[in-house]
């Protein structure tokens, strides 16, 4: 495992997993500097933290400072985005733009949160977009590409998602019955811890970590 201090760049730190991950990166001694990219500044200060406001649709025009590891936690819902096209703009286009900008900045490792069931051939639009972005990321040439595929995320979001909240409440009740299955719900903090653990390992090539593996790594 590489022991030299690293620099990290994070996209999506205002989200459920991204916010927890950012806090963990700032406390992790492996990283000497953490750059957070977002549409608006976060109400957070830390000696290692640098923030940059960006338009992900125009990230190709941005030159990022040198980075070793890139962490992508970008994601939305079709309801919040307003349309399938707007959803794709975030969960596919923005993710790919961030990957390309990170590669230009010298990032060797790219870690991304997609979803369990991601499949470019899926009839389900959400799963198909997630699968398509996974395939396109594989062609970016990172030394290490780590794809995290969590199932339903548990945690407190800043914004209200009534339908998702109902599903989470039901899943908490049913969790004991789902424990034998990799599709059981997973805490956002577990995913964030697993993401950091996978970055420390720095596996070569492409690694796909499904939700069951994330449960183990993030304990």
Q: What is the mean pLDDT of residues 10-18?
A: 97
* Within a domain: 149: yes
Could you list the active site residues? 126, 130
CATH of the domain at 105: 3.40.50.720
* Within a domain: 165: yes
pLDDT per residue as tens digits for the range 154-180:
987 555 445 444 444 444 444 555 454
Q: What is the mean pLDDT of residues 180-194?
A: 87
Report the domain count for the chain.
1
* Within a domain: 43: yes
pTM: 0.89
3-class DSSP state of 42: coil
* Within a domain: 63: yes
* Within a domain: 217: no
* Within a domain: 30: yes
* Dist. CA 118–CA 161, nearest whole Å: 22
* Dist. CA 191–CA 211, nearest whole Å: 8
pLDDT per residue as tens digits for the range 47-74:
999 999 999 999 988 899 999 999 999 9
Range of the domain at 147: 6-211
- Contact criterion met (CB below 8 Å) for 62 and 68: no
* Within a domain: 1: no
* Dist. CA 177–CA 182, nearest whole Å: 12
* Within a domain: 12: yes
């Amino acid at each position: 495992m590489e022991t030299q201090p690293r620099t990290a760049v994070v996209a999506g730190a205002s989200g459920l997993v991204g916010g927890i991950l950012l806090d963990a990166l700032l406390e992790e001694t492996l990283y000497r500097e953490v750059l957070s990219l977002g549409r608006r500044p976060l109400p957070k200060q830390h000696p290692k933290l640098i923030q940059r406001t960006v338009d992900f649709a125009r990230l190709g025009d941005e030159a990022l400072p040198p980075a070793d590891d890139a962490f992508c936690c970008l994601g939305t819902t079709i309801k919040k985005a307003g349309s399938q096209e707007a959803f794709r703009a975030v969960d596919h286009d923005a993710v790919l733009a961030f990957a390309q900008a990170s590669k230009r900045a010298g990032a060797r490792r790219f870690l991304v949160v997609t979803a369990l069931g991601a499949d470019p051939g899926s009839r389900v639009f959400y799963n198909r977009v997630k699968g398509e972005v996974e395939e396109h990321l594989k062609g970016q040439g990172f030394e290490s590409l780590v794809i995290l595929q969590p199932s339903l995320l548990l945690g407190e979001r800043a914004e209200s998602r009534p339908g998702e909240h109902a599903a989470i409440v039901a899943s908490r009740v049913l969790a004991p019955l789902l424990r034998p299955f990799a599709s059981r719900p997973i805490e956002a903090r577990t995913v964030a811890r697993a993401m950091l653990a996978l970055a420390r390992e720095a596996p070569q090539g492409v690694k796909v970590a499904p939700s069951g593996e994330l449960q183990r790594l993030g304990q």
